[in-house]
Amino acid sequence: MEFLKDLLSQPAVIAGIVVLIGLLALKKPATEVVTGTVKAILGMVILSAGATLITGALTNFSALFEGAFNMKGIVPSNEAGMGITLGKFGTVATFIFVFGLVLDIVLARFTKFKFIFLSSDHALYMACAIAPFLMLAGLDTVPAIICGSLILGVILATFPAMVYEPMKKITGDNCSFAHFGTIGYWFSAKLGKIVGKNSSSIEEIHFPTALNFLSDSNVSVSLVMAIMFFLVTGFAPADTVAELANGQDQWVWAFFQAINFAAGIYVLVAGVNVLLEEITPAFRGFSEKIVPNAVPAYPFAVLFKGTSNALIAGFLLSMLGGAIAMGIQIVCGLPVVLFASGIVFHFFCGGIAAIFGNVTGGRRGALIGPFIIGFAMTWAPILTITFLGAQFPEYATTFFSDADFNVVSIILGALAQMGPMLIYVLTAVVILFPFVATALSKKKSPDPTIPEGAPDIDLISGKRRDTSKVSSAENKKE
């Protein structure tokens, strides 16, 4: 029993078992089963190694920052947040991830929300954002897994519905988007409709190609973190730097701390890719058999063709919003969310928000939305860390950066302060939502590109689609 307890407490083993079951269910050859299972375990181990590098660099940066400026510095990072959670609550988070993916398929089969969430890395991130708050509320392992899985499954099935309409306009296909900046993208698209009347597309503007290097996140993270480490090293007390550098030249040490952080992210992402390379096909195979009329929700890369202007403009405006928010935090004496450390967030979430704002509101939609999102999301980590930091000090200086992770975490964190009962109530409401919405949605969509069973509500406008055209067409046909 002790052997089984130790074995099943390892997230890598859980991931291997999941892939093993999935490949056996799909009747794959024995060689593929063995290879996939081992690679899944290997992916989790690689992921953990990357998390260790990230955590070490962040710990040193936090010590330098507090010594230099006598204030708390917060470094928002999805990878760092995931790494800490998997190290502390790995079994709970892994089970939430797996069962959440399964529930997404079930909901797509039996409710109006026909979306299959194909960005498994973000599903894993969300599982890791949910898990610590369930433990904070005092839930035991099994209840935490059940509640977390139900919440994640509903999120995976319903969040793509929020950006379904603008996504169709952007791609020209019947698909949605699987990336957890959804609330920001929805906001940017809706704001674009309000402010962007008669505004031309931002893709007509010519930006300097010299900024294209920022699209390589490994390079941009390395450069930004190096600048930040040099800055805090220069201002930190000499004895603090000497103690942390352990006899090494302070500038060489600072540079390689930044490189360690970037390398940690690179290693962690590599581990995630190895893991998801085995898990994703299994779940995709299940979904194709169980939900033949499903609407795919694709990862971010599907949007990066022909949208370079929006990406660059959204990135820069989001960074500007973050810089202004950080300035206000410094003046007010609050914990400081270092906007530059969230360069990956600003590039992807700010840039993609600009794409959604552009499709509904042209240049004005592409510029205003990302600025507001960058400003708002530079405040959100303060709340999430306030909830977690006291009980789980590992999260005292970092948490997830993207909009959806923070919004979900703030809701869970507020409820967790009052104990497990409100978490149970929230879970019940969340799991009932797609079924109630399906029962209340009786009219079919007039859009022939939308498969039967897709949401009847335009979640950008909040209005039910007009079905009179369909009724008229059907009457003529009859």
pLDDT by 10-residue block (mean), the chain, 478 residues: 63 76 82 89 82 77 76 81 88 90 90 85 90 94 95 95 90 84 93 84 66 63 83 88 90 92 81 75 66 77 64 84 91 81 76 90 90 92 86 86 92 93 96 92 50 45 43 41
Burial code (b: 16+ CB inside 10 Å, e: under 16) for 205-228 equals: eeeeeeeeebbebeebbbbbbbeb
Report the DSSP beta bridge partners of residue 215: none
Q: Residue 369: enclosing H or E segment and its boundaries?
A: helix 351-377
Backbone φ, ψ for residue 160 (5° rounding): -60, -25
Spatial distance between the Cα atoms of 349 and 402, rounded to a whole number of angstroms: 7
The residue type of 213 is: F
Instruction: Specify the pLDDT at position 351.
Output: 85
Q: What is the dihedral of CA 194, 195, 198, 199, to 10 degrees?
A: -140
Distances (CA, A) of 314 to 79, 259, 317, 345: 22, 26, 5, 11
Spatial distance between the Cα atoms of 258 and 262, rounded to a whole number of angstroms: 6
* Tokens (6 digits) for 137: 């509320």
Instruction: Specify the pLDDT at position 428.
Output: 97
**Within 13 Å of residue 351, how many CA atoms lie on the same side as its CB?**
22
Boundaries of every domain in the chain: 2-60+83-433
Residue whose entry in the numeric block shows the structure tokens 């409710």: 111
What 3-state class would DSSP assign to 115? strand
pTM of the predicted model over 0.95: no
Beta strands 336-337 and 73-74 are parallel
Q: Residue 343: enclosing H or E segment and its boundaries?
A: helix 343-345
* Tokens (6 digits) for 235: 């201002």
* Tokens (6 digits) for 222: 């390395």
Backbone φ, ψ for residue 176 (5° rounding): -130, -165
- Biggest alpha carbon–alpha carbon distance for the chain: 86
Spatial distance between the Cα atoms of 461 and 385, rounded to a whole number of angstroms: 33
Instruction: Specify the pLDDT at position 253.
Output: 94
Classify burial at 249, counting beta carbons within 10 Å of its beta carbon; exposed 0-12, middle 13-18, buried 19 or more.
exposed
DSSP class of residue 71?
A: S
Spatial distance between the Cα atoms of 94 and 44, rounded to a whole number of angstroms: 10
* Tokens (6 digits) for 454: 């897709």
Spatial distance between the Cα atoms of 372 and 364, rounded to a whole number of angstroms: 12
Spatial distance between the Cα atoms of 15 and 279, rounded to a whole number of angstroms: 8
Instruction: Specify the pLDDT at position 416.
Output: 93
Instruction: Specify the pLDDT at position 132.
Output: 95
In angstroms and rounded to an integer, the radius of gyration of the C-alpha atoms of the chain is 23
